[in-house]
Homo-oligomer: A and B are copies of this chain.
Amino acid sequence: MLDKRLPDRTVGRLSLYRRLLSELRKRGVSHVYSHELAKAAGVTAAQVRRDVMATGYSGSPTRGYEVEELAASIGKVLDGPARQNVALVGVGNLGRAMLAYFSGRRPNLSIVAAFDSDPGRVNRVINGVRCYPMGELSRVVAEEGITVGVIAVPTTAAQEVAAALIRAGVTGLLNFAPTPLHTPPHVYVQDMDVTTSLERVAYFARQSSEKNTGA
């Protein structure tokens, strides 16, 4: 059993490595060294080796990692046995961007249903995904075996939507609303708070300018 829970930073980097490996494979590259992958990912070589270690895969000191095999090893850790279905709530600009972005991506993880409270946006298909009214949420989530929810609704509705998704059986949430969600401990929440991120970037951008000006 190597699937004791990995740290979440590690999981994030593994996801990135896999995409980089897939890129390499397309370009016909068959082997890669930790320092090469590190450079592409913007991390240190030691970090890459630690992360690879966590997947249970071992490379060769002479040839480095086999691109194909490492990608498979990461997949075994990240993907698990069954395919996972995702529900998107909120089909505004952000929600549509998500649909466009994930349509026809990894077969192991796909958005299979969208929901919105606006009657003008429901009962149609966007990027191959059926858009339902909110009232159908618990039924569809249960029927489709959805385990992950993406919250792309206005702040005021976020908590309520989260609660509904959790009640319907979802155990992971990606939250774009700039408000912390109150959720039971068995639910994993990842916040994608654009406001906070932008303020953070502004803060450090300013630090950089000041340093340059001051020196």
A residues bordering B, Cβ < 8 Å? Answer: 5-6, 8, 11-12, 15-16, 19, 40-42, 78, 80, 84, 86, 92-94, 96-98, 100-102, 105, 109, 147-148, 150, 170-174, 178, 180-182, 186-188, 190, 192-209, 211-212
In the complex, the 4 A-B pairs of residues with the closest C-beta atoms, listed nearest first = A172-B205, A188-B204, A93-B97, A94-B97
Nearest CB in chain B: distance from A43 CB, A: 9
Nearest CB in chain B: distance from A211 CB, A: 7
For A174, the chain B residues whose CB sits under 8 A away are: 194, 197-198, 201
- Nearest B residue to A184, CB-CB: B208
Other CB < 8 Å A-B pairs besides A15-B199, A186-B212, 9 of them? A15-B195, A42-B181, A93-B100, A94-B97, A101-B194, A148-B198, A170-B205, A174-B197, A187-B208
Q: Is the CB of A198 within 8 A of B102?
A: yes
Q: Is the CB of B19 within 8 A of A178?
A: yes
- Nearest B residue to A170, CB-CB: B205
